[in-house]
Amino acid sequence: MNYRIEHDTMGEVLVPADRYWGAQTQRSLENFPISQEKMPNEIIHAFGILKKAAATANHTLRPQKMTTEKHALIAQVCDELLRGELKEHFPLVVWQTGSGTQSNMNVNEVIANRGNAIAGNKLLHPNDDINMSQSSNDTFPTAMHIAAVLAVEQTLLPAAEDLAATLERLEHENEDVVKSGRTHLQDATPIRFSQEISGWRASIETDLIMITNALEHLRPLALGGTAVGTGLNAPQGFDCTVAERISDLCGTPFKAAENKFHALTSKCELVTVHGAIKALACDLMKIANDIRWLSSGPRCGLGEITIPENEPGSSIMPGKVNPTQCEAITMIAVQLMGNDATIAVAASQGNFELNVFMPVIAYNFLQSVRLLADGIRSFNDRCVSGITANREKMHHNLHNSLMLVTALNPHIGYENAARVAKTAYAENISLRDACIHLGYLTPDQFDTVFHPEDMA
């Protein structure tokens, strides 16, 4: 491999000749050979937006330093970065400095060196130009907020909305189906299948509202606070100007954080948003479990619904098909709950003027969004959208349920109705026969008041 010599304030470093990163990136590569988890692409993308916006703000507020030529060159390279053309130049792992300084410098070095290659001379400096009016301490939390908002808005919310729409369709298709309800995994009073589905739909829609509302807390940005929140070395108005430009580039609103000291050290907003996302995961766990219980069988389980058969389910049992999409989304939910614990603990560690657990927060947050968005789409497309009711089995289970006796409460009282249910179960006879046998109602009276389909 061919190398070139780069330098920083600590001296010279050998860097691969075909890479645009510089000395600080190389030092991080050498000092943190830890595992395989790379800094998320979403963070690098957010940095591209941030650096382009910062160059524009600096060009407006400091035109003598951020010249038209430098501004145009930085913008050109940031556009390449945003198109995904420079991915191989961002090699750093999550397990690095807790401020994300080395990833900020990775971006600064790549933009500067790529820009200089385009210009044909050393026009850009990573610190003086690309990092102008900034610090890693305010850029990394800003990149986290940008990445989080874009990931949630562009992937997670649309996926969950599509799932809610599928459930609404199934709800309308099954309005005439009455089945046995279940509580405590035991028979309960009747319910329409559409009502059961409506509970799933409303859960997803409620989660969407909570996530959307929580997302507003991520719109204030730390940028402009620089090292400790005082805004040292940033010109007056930089924070508001750069937030406006970021909003334009993202197509979604951001604003300058009012209190930069809070913005640098507290990560409560990310905890809040991830908590709302966790609520969605919890509901998906419940819905997926309901679906695999209802589809259990096909002969020895509940068997009240059928789901798509996507692949063979066993290497030894021919013909077996399993609810694998339910298994995938529930595993994702479990992973997300673990991520939530990591984020909460990391956010609690903001000492003095800076939280130094930011890379692990970013990694877990964005993994959660990525996993859940992909998982919901697969679950929706390959399972939920193909659910059909086994009407015959639902009808059989409904009329075989002892909890239909609840309809008799107003006519014979709770204790007598309980006696009817216990007698029917003990003697393996129908509720009708048990009620008549015990002398509580005549056959005609029972037939007049007992209509299971009307109980829903």
Query: 408-414 long-range contacts, Cβ below 8 Å, gap at least 24?
Result: 408/435, 408/440, 408/441, 408/449, 408/450, 411/441, 411/445, 411/449, 412/440, 412/441
Q: Give the burial string for 390-419 (b: 16+ CB within 10 Å, else e).
A: beebbbebbeebbbbbbbbeebbeeebbeb
Query: Which distant-in-sequence residues (6+ apart) come within 8 Å of 91 by Cβ?
Result: 21, 25, 29, 38, 106
Q: Which of 314, 348, 437, 451 is flagged as catalytic?
A: 314
- Tokens (6 digits) for 81: 């970065």
184 is catalytic: yes
Return d(Cα 224, Cα 333) in angstroms, integer.
36
Please state the φ and ψ torsions of residue 255, each to the nearest 5 degrees.
Answer: -150, 165
Query: Which distant-in-sequence residues (6+ apart) come within 8 Å of 249 by Cβ?
Result: 49, 52, 53
What 3-state class would DSSP assign to 262?
Answer: helix
> CA end-to-end span of the chain, whole Å?
74
Return d(Cα 55, Cα 61) in angstroms, integer.
10
Helices and strands in the chain, H and E counts? 17, 10
Q: Which of 35, 172, 184, 315 is flagged as catalytic?
A: 184
Consecutive H or E run containing 384: none
314 is catalytic: yes
Q: Name the maximum alpha-carbon separation found in the chain.
A: 102
| 3-state DSSP helix/strand/coil % of the chain, to nearest 5 | 65, 10, 30
Q: Are 16 and 3 in contact (CB under 8 A)?
A: yes
Q: How many CA atoms lie within 13 A of 420 on its CB side?
A: 29
Query: Which distant-in-sequence residues (6+ apart) come within 8 Å of 318 by Cβ?
Result: none
Q: Which residues are catalytic?
A: 184, 314
